Chains A and B, each alone.
Chain A
Amino acid sequence: GAGVSQSPSNKVTEKGKDVELRCDPISGHTALYWYRQRLGQGLEFLIYFQGNSAPDKSGLPSDRFSAERTGGSVSTLTIQRTQQEDSAVYLCASSLGPRVSYEQYFGPGTRLTVT
């Protein structure tokens, strides 16, 4: 069956440009997470969506980062005025329910390089 997909797989952008990263979760999964993974490091929580509830944006590192989830399905992470420190792999995960006991299924990630 289809897993979590993300696009693009790779993105190279110039400093100061805006980028949009897309996540297509598994159909029927109500919870969606975005994480950032810097080279050689673990995953940093960015944002969490659950159903129609207000998202938990507490992990977004600055106001240049925003995310939305339309129709309870596809999600877009937007980074405005990109900086070199934004270079990382951005991972999306979805799960059937709102708690961590529901397994999170991860996409392959988008590798963002800011030059």
Chain B
Amino acid sequence: GESVGLHLPTLSVQEGDNSIINCAYSNSASDYFIWYKQESGKGPQFIIDIRSNMDKRQGQRVTVLLNKTVKHLSLQIAATQPGDSAVYFCAENFNDYKLSFGAGTTVTVRA
């Protein structure tokens, strides 16, 4: 079936550097995308979302880019901090309420 996937399972980044987490999706009908952050022992937490009629959206220290031509989504974290260490998931939506999640990228911030 169609699913969301990620390019890299792990990412190690130096504190203060920018992080880029990538995600590929396969359902061309998907029109809404969300990035989640999951810390150890906790449920996922919403970071930022984007609709398919946009190609960029910015939040606090985070930017999501959407390239519909190649079905690619990325999350950029500026000035990565130790508290950013977590697993990051992208999720796509192609109906009213169901989300399809990727496997996640583990981000480790080096001091």
In the complex, chain A residues whose CB is within 8 Å of the CB of B43: 4, 91, 93, 106-109
State which of A42-50, A71-79, A80-88 sits at the interface with chain B.
Answer: A42-50
Instruction: Annotate A81-115 by CB proximity to B: 1 below 8 A, 0 otherwise.
Output: 00000000001010000111101101111000000
Interface, chain B (partner A; CB < 8 A): 4, 32, 34, 41-46, 49, 89, 91, 93, 96-104
How many residues of chain A have a CB within 8 Å of chain B?
24
Distance between Cα atoms of A45 and B1 in the complex (Å): 14
In the complex, chain A residues whose CB is within 8 Å of the CB of B89: 42-43
Interface, chain A (partner B; CB < 8 A): 4, 31, 33, 40-45, 48, 50, 56, 91, 93, 98-101, 103-104, 106-109
Contact of A100 among B4, B41, B42, B97 (CB under 8 A): B97
Contact of B96 among A4, A93, A99 (CB under 8 A): A99
In the complex, chain B residues whose CB is within 8 Å of the CB of A98: 96-97
In the complex, chain B residues whose CB is within 8 Å of the CB of A41: 103-104
Distance between Cα atoms of A40 and B103 in the complex (Å): 7
Kindly name the residue among A4, A41, A44 whose own CB sees the greatest number of chain B CB atoms within 10 A: A41
Given contacts A42-B4, A100-B34, A106-B44, are A48 and B97 in contact (CB under 8 A)? yes
Distance between Cα atoms of A44 and B44 in the complex (Å): 13
Contact B104 A108 (CB under 8 A): no
Contact A100 B96 (CB under 8 A): yes
Contact B42 A108 (CB under 8 A): yes
Distance between Cα atoms of A107 and B46 in the complex (Å): 12
